[in-house]
Structure 1
Amino acid sequence: MSQPTLHIGLLLFPGLTQLDLTGPAEVFARLPGTCLHLIWKTLDPVASDRGLSILPDTTFQDCPRLDVICIPGGPGQIDLMDDATTLDFIRRISADCRLVTSVCTGSLVLGAAGLLDGYRATCHWSSLDQLALLGALPVEQRVVRDRNRISGAGVTSGIDFALSVVAELAGEDSAQAIQLQMEYDPQPPFTAGSPRSAPPALLERVRVQSASFIERRRQATLRAAQRLSLASDLTS
């Protein structure tokens, strides 16, 4: 059997949004010659924010060199912003990656690791502005590419994001074939999937409901920004 030619790693962590990871994983797994790695500190099951458990298959210590690293998002991302072990791993593994990528609020984790300073990036709409606190340039777009950084917006954009990554790695024909295999032809029943299309009253209600959580996330982002600033001062 021929050896895989591409190694793509996806970070697992408690409280991630599983679709941020499983959407891209479904796309990447269909690319011939690809080996997927689900990475966490241990090999114990990792529970997502909605209770679905996912098994890692490698640890930070044993993870091989990767061509692509992908950081998903989800409520557990808040704790990662203060997790030095995870941020150190992301910095280390990213140094040799062809592409450094994220989905949803995973871009905030990349930012906390100091990997988005001066890069255009996107995020879930509710926290897009927080990217600027970490030196990134927020872009309100489904998928954003800046040099070797590729980021996807909220949750469902992970499939669009992954198809864009496949197109970069293997060409548009490969990406289109995977899209067809998956019958990825979205026709949502409502035009309420983004702040640009949602009814104003609905958007305001969702903002109010999530306000306290978004503030918790902002505080974690501010702490990360302070650490980045301190590190910059120490090396200057």
Structure 2
Amino acid sequence: MDLAFVLYPEFTALDLVGPLDVLGHQGLVGQEEVRVHFVAATREPVRSDVGLTVTPSTTFDELARADVVVVPGGDVRQALAGGQVSAWLREVHPTATWTTSVCTGSILLADAGLLAGRPATTHWAFRDALAQRGAVISTDRVVRDGKVITAAGVSAGIDMALTLVELIWGERRAQATQLFIEYDPQPPHDAGAVEKAPAEVVDGVLAALGRMA
């Protein structure tokens, strides 16, 4: 099975690493051959929004297909302006078994024309931006529509990947994977959703995101 993780400047590290840890370990958990590809416009190292640098293993020109495509979110402005990510997604999506995104990665799916009229989710602060590109906004943490799966903000990528494991390999494998990575969230505060967080906290986060945009 070929897994393609899309890289572009200013991607969010956990959007990539969360699903990578879940999906990339399937060769160990289930003893199947799982090939991980980091695909980008060139083979030059790509820097995340917090400084994590990943070296692509292949390029958009070199990788023509993948069984699973994962598009992380982040500051997608450069990727949108360049158009290479969207063009590659349009090329590989028809033959992919699953096309997925985390956080604002869904905006890149929408830019590629893959979410027109389809339910999808993204980071809560970017729902309007996704809707403007033709998606039908859902506030669910993980949304599946056919072979397209979108996840909400950042940490939701782990939930998306576990959902994908269940769809491909079954419930017991998903449970085993969850235990393998000891994914048992017990955060110190119940403020992980915009509907739950205090108004002043929401305003502060929006201001921070505005400085990033």
TM-score, structure 2 as length reference: 0.93
Contact 1:119 1:149 in 2 (8 A): no
CA gap 1:31/1:64 in 2 versus in 1, 3 angstroms: farther
User: Runs of 5+ in structure 1 lacking a partner?
Assistant: 1-5, 217-236
User: Runs of 5+ in structure 2 lacking a partner?
Assistant: none
The residue number in structure 1 matching 2:14 is 19
The residue number in structure 2 matching 1:170 is 169
Aligned-pair Cα RMSD in Å = 1.3
**Aligned partner of 2:45: which letter?**
P
**Aligned partner of 2:58: which letter?**
T
The residue number in structure 1 matching 2:185 is 186
In structure 1, distance between residues paired with 2:64 and 2:204: 45
In structure 2, distance between residues paired with 1:183 and 1:99: 25
The residue number in structure 1 matching 2:88 is 89
Greater shift in the superposed pair: 198-207 or 38-47: 198-207
Residues 1:205 and 2:200 aligned together: no
Q: Quote the offset at 1:209 in angstroms.
A: 3.6
Q: Quote the offset at 1:169 in angstroms.
A: 1.0
The percentage of counterpart residues that share the same residue type is 40
In structure 1, distance between residues paired with 2:100 and 2:193: 22
Contact 1:39 1:57 in 2 (8 A): yes
In structure 2, distance between residues paired with 1:65 and 1:209: 37
In structure 2, distance between residues paired with 1:179 and 1:111: 30
The residue number in structure 1 matching 2:77 is 78
Q: Quote the offset at 1:45 in angstroms.
A: 1.2
Q: Quote the offset at 1:134 in angstroms.
A: 1.2
The residue number in structure 1 matching 2:126 is 127
**Aligned partner of 1:68: which letter?**
V
The residue number in structure 2 matching 1:66 is 66
In structure 2, distance between residues paired with 1:146 and 1:186: 26
Greater shift in the superposed pair: 52-61 or 176-185: 52-61
The residue number in structure 2 matching 1:30 is 25
**Aligned partner of 1:195: which letter?**
V
Structure with higher Rg: it is 1
The residue number in structure 2 matching 1:57 is 57
